Amino acid sequence: MSTLATPNCPIIIPEVELQDCQTIERSIHKTYRRHLWAPFIRAIKEFNLVEDGDRIAVAISGGKDSLLLAKLFQALQRTKLFDFELVLIAMNPGFHQENLVALEANLKHLEIPAEIYADNIFERAEARSKEFPCYQCAQMRRGSLYAKATEHGCNKLALGHHYDDVLETILLNIFYAGKFESMLPILPAKNFDVQLIRPLYYVEEADIIRYTKQNGIQAMNCGCTVAAGRTASKRSEIKQLIKQLDTVDPAIKNNILSSTRNVNLEKILGWRADDK
Ligand SMILES: Nc1ncnc2c1ncn2[C@@H]1O[C@H](COP(=O)(O)OP(=O)(O)OP(=O)(O)O)[C@@H](O)[C@H]1O
């Protein structure tokens, strides 16, 4: 997989031998209790992301975030805090063969019995939009995952977006789209009877990287075969900016998110809701 790293999608090199599955599972409750388990539970409780009777599809791309998300959901199910069903799905959008083999190996080792299904989204996204395949790809991936979740009778689809994704999205929207818009922890799908949930909302990327490296997990860094390296530069610039700001004042990250809860409608020039 190392050959598939790009400047905007750096590879995460494990710092130890791959640990056995039980050790990895234990680490979530011990070493990473404060930084992974606690924020995961906090988001679930604060936003009611999981409720009794739910049937939740967890979408696993093979990257570090969704591999962790699957392990957290398996751990949550064992606690019996909520009575819910879990469906694990992984879509193959046209990965390089070496990425697909690595994904299968990771799922097996981590005891994540996910259904891998094929949907040639990379090819279709590129055919539809040579210039901006990423936007197409993101839309089509989401649609494919919603459809698969629906096919499995799920009422929720969990994605692996984390705290830093949320902050980056807020700033990207301000800087490059001229709008104040966040990424929500829970929202209804537009064309499906499914709710999208983001249970890693409070989990910091640095902690996911630490957990991944320290458990020897070689997650997929970037499965894209179409535009990897050409795009996502704005996101990586914003990531660097937030990193720099964090060294100046560690309160800044939290303040970026807090600003989305604290909008003074008397001190803004305009707003819209439901196209109004
Ligand atoms: N091919 C896929 N199959 C299943 N789920 C996917 C796939 N691609 C994306 N997802 C879901 O959408 C989320 C966000 O996708 P994105 O490509 O932004 O991932 P990411 O930030 O690189 O996260 P990850 O480390 O999980 O890949 C993923 O965490 C995962 O839950």
Does the annotation flag 165 for ligand binding? yes
Q: Are 70 and 41 in contact (CB under 8 A)?
A: no
User: Interface pTM (ipTM) of the complex?
Assistant: 0.96
Closest atom, ligand 1, to C-alpha of 68:
26
| pLDDT at res. 257 | 98
Q: Are 114 and 88 in contact (CB under 8 A)?
A: yes
Q: Are 51 and 84 in contact (CB under 8 A)?
A: yes
60 alpha carbon – ligand 1 mean position (Å): 6
User: In a structure prediction context, what are the per-residue pLDDT tens digits for the chain, which is 276 residues long?
Assistant: 344 455 556 788 999 999 999 999 999 999 999 999 999 999 999 999 999 999 999 999 999 999 999 999 999 999 999 999 999 999 999 999 999 999 999 999 999 999 999 998 888 887 877 777 777 788 889 999 999 999 999 999 999 999 999 999 999 999 999 999 999 999 999 999 999 999 999 999 999 999 999 999 999 987 676 666 555 688 999 999 999 999 999 999 999 999 999 999 999 999 998 777
161 CB less than 6 Å from ligand 1?
Answer: yes
Map out the domains of the chain with their CATH numbers: 2-262 (3.40.50.620)
Does the annotation flag 65 for ligand binding? yes
| pLDDT at res. 274 | 79
User: Using CA positions, which residue lies closest to atom 21 of ligand 1?
Assistant: 161
- Could you tell me if residue 229 is left (phi over 0), alpha (psi between -120 and 50 degrees) or otherwise beta? left
Does the annotation flag 143 for ligand binding? no
Ligand 1 mutation pick, 9, 40, 56, 61, max ligand atoms within 8 A of CB:
61
159 alpha carbon – ligand 1 mean position (Å): 7
Q: Are 197 and 156 in contact (CB under 8 A)?
A: yes
| pLDDT at res. 232 | 61
Contacts of the segment 101-108: beta carbons below 8 A, 24+ positions apart: 102/1, 102/62, 102/218, 102/220, 103/62, 103/220, 106/62, 106/67, 106/217, 106/218, 106/219, 106/220, 107/60
Does the annotation flag 246 for ligand binding? no
| pLDDT at res. 2 | 40
Question: pTM (2 decimals)?
Answer: 0.93
